[in-house]
Every structure is written in C-alpha cells, then in structure tokens.
C-alpha cells in the first residue's frame, strides 16, 4: 500500500502555466484604481487569496479604519476579477509539460490528487473547464474514484475556506474531502512562499517548491521546505523515494 495517499498541488504556476498573467491583472487593477505598489510586493503575495491582497495593499495605503477602505478594496478587487475572468475566458489555460504524466502516475499509485488555488471559485471553474479537469467531479468538486475518467480527485479554491494561504486550511479541506486524516500521508507542491508556509502549517510529510513557476530559488529558499524541483515530472521520483 502506498505510504502517500494525497498529492496537493497548486494550480497557477505549478500545474497550470503562469507567464505572469495574474501579476499583470493585479497591476492593471492597481493602475486603474490609483494604487502605488512595487512588483516585488505583489510577487511576495502571489498564492494568497486575491481579496486579501487588495485588503493588505489598501490597509497599508490608507488604513483599514479609513471611511473609504472597504469601497476602495471592492473597486480594486472588482476590476481585477473582471480582468482575470476575461483573460482566462479568452486565452484559456495550458498545463505545464509533464503535469498530466504526474496525474497518471499518482492515479496508478492510488494517490488522490487535490488542486488548490488562491483563485476564487468562478475563475477556478473557468480554468478547470478550459483544461477539461472538471471531468467526473461532482457538485462538491470531488471524485474519490481513481479508476474512473476523472483527471483529478478534488478542487479547492480560496472561496472554499475562511482563510486562504498562507493558512493551512485549503490543504486541510482537501484532506477532509479526500478522506485522508494523517498529514504525514500528504505531499504538497507549490511555486510561492505562501504554498510552502501553508504546507509547513499543515505539517505535511513532504513540502516541495516548484522553480518553474513565479518564484526563483532565492525567493523560496528562506521558507521551510523539503525539496525544490525544476519540472513537474521530478515529483514522480520524489514520490517513488518516499514510498520505498
């Protein structure tokens, strides 16, 4: 029997190609709503719940007690959402090379696959549909059948939890839905510091950072992790090592 029972994988920047499109959508919203913030600051918050990003930026700009705080957050967030939804509806999404091979390997080892994302549910659904990864999932975005036609077993968006990354709640919800009680039977892969932080908080067996996404080695090294990989298929070798 496999030691690992669940692989929790981030979407944009880890399984779904990210060529800084999300970052561009952030800056379009920032420019349109007269915010001033550096690219490095935005990059440091990638992987967070998107509403939390704008709450954080406006809190630093005017303070959360400012009478216009909530209106400003809503204005920026709404602009971002419209831009982001339009992008994925128009351009679609593509997986990184090797991701589908990783999915097939996990299924062959009876390891459930859960995708987590800082995107809210509407955008998550657009991406899943464009990729065909919603196939076989029920109304709860779940399929526990590893012999069926489903591509993944579970989808978790930031809308599904109270606190998105860097909190561990998306990983914990994925565990609950996939009926895995022990975090030491979970491997987590993500491309942002918040992915690594959430994995550490969830106390998973193995936390992996992807260097082919939005962050480089120097940006991920300071955060607790077990391995950094250069391509999705490197995960297969890691799982084989862990299951020996």
Question: Average pLDDT, stretch 146-159?
Answer: 92
**From CA 106, how far away is CA 112, in angstroms rounded?**
7
**Six-digit token string for 150:** 């489903």
Task: Give yes or no for residue 51 having a pLDDT over 60.
Answer: yes
Average pLDDT, the chain: 94
Residue 2's pLDDT is 55
pLDDT band at 1 (very low <50, low <70, confident <90, very high): very low
65-109 residue pLDDT tens:
999 999 999 999 999 999 999 999 999 999 999 999 999 999 999
**From CA 202, how far away is CA 188, in angstroms rounded?**
10
Give Cβ neighbours of residue 190 (< 8 Å, ≥ 6 apart).
9, 10, 13, 14, 47, 116, 196, 198, 199, 208, 209, 210, 213
**From CA 105, how far away is CA 135, in angstroms rounded?**
18
162-201 residue pLDDT tens:
999 999 999 999 999 999 999 999 999 999 999 999 999 9
Residue 191's pLDDT is 95
């Amino acid at each position: 029997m496999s030691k690992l029972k669940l692989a929790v994988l981030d979407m944009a920047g880890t399984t779904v190609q990210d060529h800084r499109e999300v970052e561009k959508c952030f800056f379009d919203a920032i420019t349109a709503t007269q915010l001033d913030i550096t690219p490095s600051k935005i990059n440091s918050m990638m992987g967070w719940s998107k509403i939390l990003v704008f709450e954080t930026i406006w809190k630093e700009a005017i303070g959360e007690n400012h009478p216009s705080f909530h209106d400003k957050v809503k204005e920026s967030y709404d602009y971002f959402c419209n831009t982001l939804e339009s992008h994925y509806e128009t351009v679609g999404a593509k997986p990184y090379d090797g991701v589908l091979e990783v999915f097939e390997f996990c299924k062959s080892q009876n390891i459930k696959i859960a995708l987590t994302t800082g995107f809210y549910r509407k955008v998550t659904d657009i991406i899943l549909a464009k990729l065909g990864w919603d196939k076989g999932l029920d109304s709860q975005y779940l399929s526990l059948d590893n012999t069926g036609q489903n591509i993944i077993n579970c989808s978790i968006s930031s809308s599904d939890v109270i606190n998105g990354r860097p909190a561990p709640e998306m990983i914990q919800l994925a565990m609950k839905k996939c009926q895995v009680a022990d975090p030491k039977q979970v491997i987590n892969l993500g491309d942002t510091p918040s992915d690594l932080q959430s994995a550490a908080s969830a106390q998973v067996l193995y936390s992996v950072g992807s260097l082919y996404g939005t962050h480089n080695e120097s940006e991920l090294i300071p955060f607790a992790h077990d391995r950094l990989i250069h391509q999705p298929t490197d995960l297969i070798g890691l799982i084989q090592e862990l299951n020996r």
